[in-house]
């Protein structure tokens, strides 16, 4: 893989936020900023172009000044639907994907994940910390679009099962767990404020 490989960053903010009482997770305020702001600020320096995948509050997300794309379906089909929408949108070779609810992720961690992908030769590279797999912190080749379309068309939505169908490399960040912690509920959000 050469230096001309195009990489697009994708922030997944397309969920229903059921565990957050249906309040748009990316727009929840954490320490004075929306949750997605932290993901945006960590990813922005690592990629040449960036998009947000969202299915609601599109006007608010557009204030970040990058394209906002929605899933190809309207039923909040999960992370893989957001990844497929990004694949459908871009002409980049790779997607560097992170969720909107990880306020502690750093640019250095994302750069390391991308570098490991470029040197590893896998189709997909995923972050893990010890035994814990962080399946929405990943680098994926956009050439897997047809595979993902087929998988979702069969009403499959589990990210890990799709990853297992491909040459996937898991990069162990060891004790560096904090960056991959995400906030799923209002209680979690309030607990760490």
Task: Tally the residues of the chain.
Answer: 193
Every domain of the chain and the residues it spans: 7-192
Q: Which of 139, 149, 10 is nearest to 67 (CA)?
A: 10
Decide if 140 contacts 122 (C-beta within 8 A).
no
Question: What is the per-residue pLDDT for 64?
Answer: 96
Q: Say what the pLDDT of residue 182 is.
A: 78
Q: Please give the radius of gyration of the chain, using alpha carbons only, rounded to the nearest integer.
A: 15
Residue 87 reports pLDDT greater than 70: yes
What would the pLDDT profile of 6-57 be if each residue is shown by its tens digit?
A: 999 999 998 655 555 556 889 988 889 999 999 999 999 999 899 999 999 9
| Residue 104 confidence (pLDDT) above 50 | yes
Q: How confident is the model at residue 187 (pLDDT cuts 50, 70, 90)?
A: low
At residue 47, the pLDDT reads: 96
Of 2 and 64, the structure prediction assigns the larger pLDDT to: 64
Residue 190 has pLDDT above 80, yes or no: no
DSSP H/E element including 81? helix 79-89
The overall average pLDDT reported for the chain is: 89
Pairing of strands 132-141, 124-129: antiparallel
Q: Residue 1: is its pLDDT beyond 50?
A: no
Reduced to 3 states (helix: H, G, I; strand: E, B; else coil), residue 43 is helix
| Model confidence at 2: pLDDT above 60 | no
pLDDT at 175: 79
CATH number of 7-192: 3.90.550.10
Tens-place pLDDT, residues 105-142: 999 999 999 999 999 889 999 999 999 999 999 999 99
């Amino acid at each position: 893989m050469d230096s001309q490989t195009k990489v697009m960053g994708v922030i997944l903010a397309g969920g229903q936020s059921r565990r957050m009482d249906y309040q748009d997770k990316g727009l929840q305020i954490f320490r004075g900023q929306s949750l997605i702001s932290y993901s945006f600020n960590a990813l922005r320096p690592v990629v040449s172009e960036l998009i947000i995948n969202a299915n609601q509050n599109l006007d608010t997300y557009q204030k970040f000044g990058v394209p906002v794309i929605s899933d190809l379906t309207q039923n909040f089909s999960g992370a893989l639907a957001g990844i497929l929408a990004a694949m459908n949108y871009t002409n980049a070779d790779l997607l560097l994907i992170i969720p909107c609810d990880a306020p502690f992720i750093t640019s250095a961690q994302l750069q390391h994940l991308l570098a490991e992908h470029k040197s590893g030769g896998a189709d997909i590279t995923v972050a893990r910390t010890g035994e814990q797999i962080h399946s929405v912190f990943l680098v994926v080749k956009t050439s897997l679009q047809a595979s993902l379309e087929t998988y979702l068309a069969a009403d499959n939505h589990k990210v890990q099962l799709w990853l297992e169908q491909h040459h996937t490399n898991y990069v162990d960040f060891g004790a560096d767990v904090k960056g991959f912690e995400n906030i799923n509920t209002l209680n979690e959000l309030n607990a760490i404020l």
